[in-house]
Chains A and B, each alone.
Chain A
């Protein structure tokens, strides 16, 4: 069956955002605000409507088949819901921003994510994938500060590299399979030989890079804290979670993939370790995106039905609470201009609403019972337990303690309480608070819905029963969180934020490249002067000079000669003409009479 890309009754929700975004600069005032909210709301409505018609469709434009495939199933639907909800929340948060460019890029970015989610073939997947990279880098650049421009270039560099890896994988995969369909790539094809192993690995690496899996993930904490206050909120949602979606779609297999399990669990702890050292508020939260996405990647590796449901549910919950946390840190940045924890402190006196809403997000990410993280993260940890992976279970639980330690205790302590820095912010604009309140309501709603698992988990891709609120689970979680708090207050002195930055794998392209350059400069320069220069002299300079010399001769002897000759001829002719111009009327009369006589003679002769 084919679907028209844009028709009267239907439009691709991603394209709606991407094309609709360009209407915003034409509008003004209230109408613009309405349009900013209406676009993502309409996209959400379309996604909800799509749930009535699961299946795969060919895409056509004005009756011409485009060769793209549009896929609607439970997995793509749940990601599309949360992406459009997130676009809506992000636009509410950005309503006060007067910069049209930011709105257009943010909506394009969200549209790209929806495009990836519904892509049933590798070609349209790749197109939307790259669109996301390009639109998101603009959200960094639009902060218009030197550090943001530099970070944006690094971000773009990494994502272009990742996109090329993915493209190489896609080309190899599709030429081997003879089809562009984006289906599961199965377990590691150990028996298949290089023609199968290579595309499998390349596509996996492309997805893992966007999911910010170390060592390919340093772009995330590098770029996100440099983005605009409102742009960063969008960035937390789309790139990593659309990569998680692709990983579930392509690499979740029933038996599991050991490599991905360990990468995910390691990633969950890696983010926590860096968060201890971090001083920049939004960078600390960025490291916790890596940590949280680690749970989802790990679940993809485990691959059981419960794990896949856990990854999807956690992506859903994570987008909402992470956006809330970034909104809180962004609000502080907006009103105080401060980004470093070592400079903040005492803000609870003037920003109590921001503090309260931030704490709801913090409880959600820390998986406190009654908040959203509890009903989603616990599925992944339970999936690890049911798979009898005790080390993964312990690693993920440890990372949970670390999550509460940083986002629930360290960051709010140093930002809002702690030593009073004398900085007095005020509450941010109303629209920012409304966006935070909406996200907070969602975090609590999802958490409370856990008491009705049939209702909550109905939207998840697989059918498997799960109950988050068991007695053991609640008490163990409360104990774990409570004693983490005890550890925090006992070691508080150790945690004082330091005015330092931490090395990450972005060192290789930020600092390592200068070493490479200086090492290469000597030999490369000699090669250039000695060999390349000589060849250039011989192949290019001499022939070019020879031809030039020839051309100059041609110019002086032929072109100049011709011009001068014409000049001389004209001069001579005008000398002749001059003699006829005497100024006497009788001469002119004589000449005219002679002319008339000559004409008459000619006419008679010709007759």
Chain B
């Protein structure tokens, strides 16, 4: 059994990976908030929203949800067809 397989198939280890994933997210979001306070001159803001707290993280989550929801909606009402659509 390979290393990767052990990590994914053992529920205890998988739960541990999940925990570390959430910890990582928290660290990244915090870093986005805290680091600009410590190093204020690092990046000139071109737009006001770049200065919002954890803008990158929030926008990433919003983008991901928006893409999935809007695309699936468009697919359901309009774009998606049976696989043999062009054959018939």
Q: Chain A's interface: helix, strand, loop or mixed, by majority?
A: helix
A277 touches B72 (CB 8 A): yes
CB<8 Å pairs between A and B, sample of 19 = A274-B79, A276-B72, A386-B46, A390-B46, A393-B46, A398-B59, A401-B63, A401-B64, A405-B68, A471-B39, A475-B32, A482-B24, A482-B29, A483-B64, A485-B21, A487-B64, A491-B65, A494-B69, A503-B79
Question: Bound complex: CA of A427 vs CA of B41, how far in Å?
Answer: 49
Question: Is B16 close to A, CB under 8 A?
Answer: no
Q: Which residue of A lies closest to B65 (CB)?
A: A487
Restricting to B5-40, which residues have a CB under 8 Å from any CB of A? 5, 8, 21, 24-25, 28-29, 31-32, 35-36, 39
Measured between alpha carbons, how far is A402 from B70 in the docked complex, in Å?
12
A39 to B22, alpha carbons, bound, how many Å? 50
A518 within 8 A of B: no
With a cutoff of 8 Å between Cβ atoms, the chain B residues found around residue A499 in the complex are: 83
Asked, given contacts A472-B42, A476-B55, whether A494 binds B61 with beta carbons under 8 Å apart, the answer is: no
Chain B residues 50-64 with CB under 8 Å of chain A are 50, 54-61, 63-64
Q: Is the CB of A483 within 8 A of B60?
A: yes
Tell me, in angstroms, the Cα distance from A272 to B64 when the chains sit together: 10
- In the complex, the answer to whether A484 meets B86 with C-beta atoms within 8 Å is no
Considering the complex, give the chain A residue whose CB is closest to the CB of B46: A385
CB distance from B85 to the nearest CB of A (A): 6
> Chain A residues near B39 (CB, 8 Å)?
471
Q: Are B67 and A272 in contact (CB under 8 A)?
A: yes
Q: A274, A398, A405, A472 — which one has the most chain B CB atoms within 10 A of its CB?
A: A472
Give the docked Cα–Cα distance between A478 and B56 (Å).
8
- The contact string, 1 if C-beta is below 8 Å from chain B, for chain A 54-94, is 00000000000000000000000000000000000000000
1/0 per residue, CB under 8 A from B, across A467-507: the answer is 00011110111111111111110110011001111110000
Binary B-proximity of A267-283 (CB < 8 A = 1, otherwise 0): 00000111011000000
B36 and A277 contacting across the interface, CB-CB below 8 Å: no
A181 to chain B, nearest CB (A): 38
Please encode chain A, from 375 to 399, with 1 for each CB lying within 8 Å of some chain B CB and 0 for all others: 0000000000110101001100110
Chain B CB within 10 Å, residue with most, of A401, A470, A473, A475:
A475
The 5 closest A-B pairs by CB, nearest first: A487-B64, A476-B56, A472-B43, A479-B57, A480-B60
